[in-house]
Amino acid sequence: MSWLRCAVAAALVAGLNVPLVSGQPGSTRYRDVLFAEVVVSGLIPYRQAVNVTGALETLTLDLYLPAGDPEARRPAIIWIHGGGFRPGNDKRQKYIVAMATEFAKRGFVSVAPDYRVRAEVGPDRLPALKDALEDCRTALEWVRAHAAEYRIDPSRIAIGGGSAGGMIAVNLAATEGKASGGATGVFALVDLWGSPPSSLRVAATGPEFPPTVIVHGTADELVPFSQSEQFAAELKAHGIAHELRAIAGAPHTPIAAMPEILRWTSAFVYGALTGK
């Protein structure tokens, strides 16, 4: 494993028109940018799993760490990429790199895992989702197991994802809560245009679900905006703190709104982390 300065990450972020600014006096850790650089450790193996072809596949993740950060116990956030459960996107998806980099610059340890995908998904996407969910749950367990090594507070882990990655993240948040009565350390969920339909839910939303911010374009033709409205209604019914940030007229993956998306999500996650 080699440690690299985040030149590639910075270039990808710049390509999405996300401002790269240094922390200003009075900046608040975990909400505002405090670190000018991020150190990326890439392609760290975290599990081996049999894929749909029957081959044993090694899955890896990338770590994004705020450079020069002396903090002993830092919150982490896992960013799950999209792509319809098919090849073509992975943990280096542009907006995943952008979110992981920008949250690391605010003091988080960002983690971006790959998961099993399949060339032919078919109309029933549930088997592909279940494989991906199992992989991302293992990535979460890896983060907890390596918390001391990377100075992570294992009781403060958030989950985020976009599109198919958002669907995985929603299910991961639900199953983690059901598995341990909510005492999982998953303190927030960031759902980026990935609210799943009922056919892709393996566990129901319940009162143990973490605070959730949903970002979704109202003109999304791949993941209907109505699915986020339904998800928000479920969260409201269970008294879960949440926000639904609708981007009027925006399509799927509305990267033109990345500055606003970063502002909304970082403020929400900061509030969930601190209670402020």
254-269 per-position pLDDT tens digit: 999 999 999 999 999 9
Total structural domains in the chain? 1
| pLDDT computed for residue 4 by the predictor | 44
- Helix, strand or coil for residue 29? coil
Rounded CA-CA distance 129/160 in Å is 16
Q: Tell me what pLDDT residue 26 has.
A: 66
Nearest to 64 by CA among 97, 21, 95, 33: 97
Q: What is the pLDDT of residue 170?
A: 97
- Give the residues of the chain that fall short of pLDDT 50: 1-15, 17-22, 180-182
Alpha-carbon distance 186 to 76, whole Å? 10
pLDDT of residue 27: 78
Q: Which residues contact 258 (CB under 8 A, 6 or more apart)?
A: 16, 17, 18, 95, 98
Amino acid 153: pLDDT: 95
Residues, the chain, total?
Answer: 276
Give φ, ψ of 123 to 5 degrees.
-65, -30
Q: At 84, which CATH number?
A: 3.40.50.1820
- What is the residue range of 249's domain? 3-274
User: What's the pLDDT score for residue 19?
Assistant: 42
